[in-house]
Amino acid sequence: MSGEKMKLYWFSGSTPCWRVLIVLEEKGFHDNTELKHIDLFKQEHKSAEVIKLNPRGQVPTFVDKDININESHAICDYLETCYGDCGKKLIPSEKRAMSRVLQRMHEAHNNFQNAIIENIIYYCMLTEKEKWDHDLLERKYVIARNELQRWEDYLKKVHEEGGIYIVGDDFTMADIYLYPHVAFCVRFGLDISTYPELEKYYNTLAQRPSINKTWPPTWRSTNDEYRYLTKL
């Protein structure tokens, strides 16, 4: 791809940002995209430059020539819809295959993220530890375990049929929606070995070039001190 570069405002360790970076890499656009790292701890996402493009003051924020689009899923959908013939096709055209990919994409967003990341990690991060409601947390852990087991069962079936990705033998947008969530959970204390099918999936996809190349730099250099998911 030639011409004016795309631009992505991103933050290391953000699963939404990582999702977009993987798509850019799979599409062959990574080297044609200006990557501007935004330090959330310095409130750079509230700068005039970002607010002009994204009134919510959030990242990822993406620019393609005279078009700017925000929200990671919208960016991923935009890239696949507008540049479907570039690089890896991430949502198949065949209806049955497409339905499986779309199903897992939105399950990963609506269920995996909500049951584990929103339900436990964000609760613990945003609530002072001495104010944690431990009875509530125990109920949250039950929901999270059930969700993890559901994905464990999905992957067991896939692996038994000889596939390695969440919908079978092809890497798709469903993996891009799911994998950063899984890795985020491992980062925050999930013992992935408790879920052997998820562990196989996690380790296999960690070696995929687009994922390995875009792995959050801060995760390579630091160990997170917050181990919120050790009870899962």
The answer as to whether 11 is a domain residue is: yes
The reply to whether 64 and 178 lie within a common domain is no
CATH number at residue 21: 3.40.30.10
The answer as to whether 232 is a domain residue is: no
Q: Residues 44-78: pLDDT tens digits?
A: 999 999 999 999 999 999 999 999 999 999 999 99
Last residue of a domain, one of 48, 82, 116: 82
Last residue of a domain, one of 59, 82, 105: 82
The reply to whether 53 and 102 lie within a common domain is no
- Single-letter amino acid code for the residue at 185: C
Does the pLDDT at position 31 exceed 90? no
What is the phi/psi pair of residue 100, to 5°?
-70, -40
Burial 42-78 (b: 16+ CB within 10 A, else e): eebbeeeebeebbeeebbbbbbbeeeebbbbbebbbb
- Residue 7 CA to residue 169 CA, distance in Å, equals 32
The reply to whether 71 and 102 lie within a common domain is no
The reply to whether 165 and 125 lie within a common domain is yes
Q: Residues 123-146: pLDDT tens digits?
A: 999 999 999 999 999 999 999 999
The reply to whether 103 and 199 lie within a common domain is yes
CATH number at residue 137: 1.20.1050.10
The reply to whether 125 and 215 lie within a common domain is yes
Segment 177-192 mean pLDDT: 96
Last residue of a domain, one of 52, 82, 112: 82
The reply to whether 134 and 217 lie within a common domain is yes
The reply to whether 58 and 107 lie within a common domain is no
Which residue range is the domain that position 103 belongs to? 95-221
The reply to whether 43 and 123 lie within a common domain is no
Query: What domain count does the chain have?
Result: 2
> Is the peptide bond prior to 16 cis by the omega test (within 30 degrees of 0)?
no
The answer as to whether 228 is a domain residue is: no
Q: Residues 104-120: pLDDT tens digits?
A: 999 999 999 999 999 99
pLDDT value of position 224: 65
Share of the chain above pLDDT 70, in %: 97
3-state secondary structure of 206: helix
- Residue 131 CA to residue 39 CA, distance in Å, equals 28
The answer as to whether 139 is a domain residue is: yes
The reply to whether 18 and 64 lie within a common domain is yes
